[in-house]
A = this chain, B = another copy of it.
Amino acid sequence: MPTITTVDVVDVRFPTSATLDGSDAMNPDGDYSAAYVILGTDADHSGYGLTFTIGRGTDLCVAAARQIAAPLVGRDVGEVTSDLGGLYREIMSDSQMRWLGPEKGVVHLAAAAVLNAAWDLAARSAGKPLWRLISDMTPAELVAACDFRYLTDVLTPDEAIEMLEKLAPTREQRIADLAVRGYPAYTTSPGWLGYSDDKLRRLCKEAVEEGWTHVKLKVGANLEDDVRRLGIAREELGDRTLMMDANQVWDVPQAIDWVNRLAPFGPLWIEEPTSPDDVLGHARIRQAVAPVGVATGEHAHNRVMFKQLLQAGAIDFCQIDSCRLASVNEIVPILLMAAKFGVPVCPHAGGVGLCEIVQHLSVVDYVCVSGTLDGRVLEYVDHLHEHFTDPVRIDAGRYRLPELPGYSTRMHSESVDTYRYPDGRHWSQGV
């Protein structure tokens, strides 16, 4: 029987701070990084997973992931991959590690990396892209892999099965549709805060030429700068859609004032206007800045936070993060709750590998959970894809359906060797 023989967790850091790629009002100089998990097996396939970080502290996620994944060594691959719900529950029920959260921060990020690797291993072992592995599961099988703890006041497993069963007969039609049309997306690449006005204008122009219909800009450091930058973007984009992202810099009253000053530029949403923990604050902001929508979620740390964001009517767009939430097991219940509340899921992406990962989740949302593309746009950022063996493919502002087996989470060995911190060639020799 094929067995998991090794667990490797690597601290990989890319020197993005040098070019200010990824710069925003809260994060001026991140080095986009990952705690990268490899579940080695004696079979043909290993499992690859990661959680995304931005520099210092990646080592903490690495150490946590090593502890969480260590018990997997020696386990039968088939047993692990056929009961990913069991693996999830095993990881979450370690009460000593749970104390450090619960279900948030470093231990949850690390759990995400390990579970992402386990789902990747399952998909590779089945010879299917992850979205296809899930689309081939029955509603009961998928629900059995999911965590509904603390959610049953809003959604029970039985209700989830009922929702999934309604859409199951038509799954293949939507897959065929995606194969032809791809999944709608938006780009954040032009809008980093550290870019000059000229670079912003040039990148907006290029985005239009490449067929993008939705572009997102970072805001929130300086109001006059924001007015000028949004003006430039609006000039170049014409009547295309513009979004704004403040990365948590405002208090609630300040968010309301600032967004209302920028509202004349007609943005679709303001993203992360305040603390990601502030459900009630988001609800108040949403009431005060309509028709500008409110989007958040990339720092919402678990399914309980999303439950409340939906219950409180706090968001117009639900931005799950594939590396902060504990993988498919926790994310599918959020997709289901969002569908129940009629809120479109527009995942957070960019970073390291997030585009690669979330494309599978958005396909699952469309094919299995919500059955619609209405209001959905999946984030795209044009960097670091070259480090992945199965990078995303974009065509005229839409994601192409992933075709290779797995969760698209595997990095090139050469990239890992070069950017391994602190002993990889880049960091130790400056190359």
Contacts and interface: CB of A to CB of B under 8 A. Distances in A.
Given A106-B64, A106-B105, A153-B251, A95 B277 contact: no
Interface string A131-161: 0000000000000000001111100000000
A64 B54 contact: no
B96 A54 contact: yes
Q: Which 3 A-B pairs have the closest CB atoms?
A: A105-B105, A55-B96, A106-B106
A125 interface: no
A27 B99 contact: yes
A241 interface: no
Contact of A251 (B29, B60, B150, B248): B150
A108 B107 contact: no
Copies of this chain, count? 2
A57 B102 contact: no
A412 to B, nearest CB: 24
B280 A311 contact: yes
Interface string A54-81: 1111011101100100000000000000
14 contacts: A27-B95, A54-B95, A54-B96, A55-B96, A56-B96, A56-B97, A100-B106, A101-B104, A102-B276, A103-B277, A105-B105, A153-B253, A153-B284, A279-B280
A102 B54 CA distance: 12
Nearest to A108: B105
Contact of A308 (B29, B103, B279): B279
A304 interface: yes
Interface residues of A, number: 61
A98 B30 contact: no
A97 B57 contact: yes
Interface in A345-376: none
A151 B251 contact: yes
B64 A60 contact: yes
A317 to B, nearest CB: 20
A100 B95 contact: no
A30 B151 CA distance: 26
A227 interface: no
Contacts of A342: none
Contacts of A53: 96, 99-100
Contacts of A6: none
B251 A278 contact: no
Nearest to A97: B57
Nearest to A53: B99
A150 B275 contact: yes
A252 interface: yes
A52 to B, nearest CB: 9
Contacts of A254: 152
